[in-house]
A and B are shown apart, each in its own frame.
Chain A
Amino acid sequence: MSLSSPIDDLVLAALKRRCRRTQERVYRQYSQPAWTLAVRLSGCEARAWDAVQSAFVLAFERVGQLREAKQFGFWLRRILVNQVMDQHRRQSSEQAEIETAAALRDQDSALDLERALAALEPLDRQVVWLHDGEGMKHAEIAELAGQTVSWSKSRLARAREKLRKQLTAGEVPARSMEHG
């Protein structure tokens, strides 16, 4: 199941009627990919929680604006990415993120990659995940971030370079994986 999976017209109609059972079913259908996307983009489970909660609430509240049921997944993804980016904008204006250096080093390459991704700057992380993880085009990413296509391309190149450098060096600082 991915965020691009469609829902059918009956489900959309039930969502528009604010049927709670349908809302829960749709949440169960999309929560896994939505959660993964939010964690990868925000690099933190606490922020992912906020983003996913806000995204589903907004999606269920504004589903009346959606015309085509098959677009639901893309629409939800867009709302979720916007939530993460808004969070990042708010946090940037409030205070610099607190990063904790990891004392532990793990030999597991998946964990290394996860930590390297979490250690990236928020915008680098968002661009590289949206492009390489979600398969989005530069034009889409640029539109979501309110930037140009060349901005997205240069961010992507920089993010990939940083990721590779960190993975090669094997010195990956871990970002705090807060819960709740």
Chain B
Amino acid sequence: MDDAIDFTRLRQSGPPEGLWPAIAGELDRRRNHRFVRRVSALAAMVTVVVLAAVLVDAPAPPLGEERIASAPTESASSGVTLADLRAASARLESRLSDQRQRAVGGMELESLLWLEAELAWLDEQLAEAPADRELWRQRVELLAELNRRYADGDWRRDMLLASV
């Protein structure tokens, strides 16, 4: 350090008066910017959550049940047993009980009432022949159709589609 330059004799100057206000102003500007960014992010998040809630509310297409319903009952090779049909019927019935709570548009109401009457008639038949696979297959098919109609007739879904 012997070779070092002696800087101690240099005069010490203080910072200009306006420096702190400039720093405070920049800190304020960044804070405001951060606030705006957070509000925007929050608004975007709320929009995503609302959209997700509306979309999740719409039922998934009953693919498994449709396959069961369309399987020929006579053919043993189809692999669809009476137990499968009853299980599919129970699943669809459970989904249908949720669907029945939904608001339905006037256009769908008439066909839904007809299908509901059809279901009541099928249930009467099944009460007399509970092991009839063909009747169970028809019931599954009817329940799948009812689920589809209720979903399509939901006026909230119509409004959502119309707004896109």
Instruction: Tell me, yes or no, whether A binds B.
Output: yes
Using a CB–CB cutoff of 8 Å, the interface residues on chain A facing chain B are 18, 20, 23-24, 27-28, 31-32, 34-36, 39-40, 45, 49, 52-53, 56-57, 60-61, 109-110, 113-114, 117, 128-129, 131-133, 160, 163-164, 179
Once A31-B19, A35-B14, A49-B19 are accepted as A-B contacts, the answer to whether A23 and B7 lie under 8 Å apart by CB is no
Alpha-carbon gap, A172 to B88, bound state (A): 96
Chain B nearest CB: distance from A166 CB in Å? 11
Once A60-B27, A133-B7 are accepted as A-B contacts, the answer to whether A49 and B16 lie under 8 Å apart by CB is yes
Once A132-B4, A163-B5 are accepted as A-B contacts, the answer to whether A31 and B27 lie under 8 Å apart by CB is no
Once A57-B27, A57-B30, A133-B7 are accepted as A-B contacts, the answer to whether A27 and B13 lie under 8 Å apart by CB is no
Among B7, B10, B23, which residue has its beta carbon within 8 angstroms of that of A56?
A: B23
Alpha-carbon gap, A24 to B116, bound state (A): 75
Among B5, B24, B26, B31, which residue has its beta carbon within 8 angstroms of that of A132?
A: B5
Alpha-carbon gap, A129 to B5, bound state (A): 9
Kindly state whether residue B161 has any CB partner on chain A within 8 Å.
no
Chain A nearest CB: distance from B164 CB in Å? 41
Chain B residue with the shortest CB-CB distance to A36? B12
Q: Are A24 and B20 in contact (CB under 8 A)?
A: yes
Grouping DSSP codes into helix (H, G, I), strand (E, B) and loop, the B interface class, with mixed when no group exceeds half, is: loop
Among B13, B26, B27, which residue has its beta carbon within 8 angstroms of that of A35?
A: B13
Interface residues of B in 1-38 (CB under 8 A from A): 3-7, 9-16, 19-20, 22-24, 26-27, 30-31
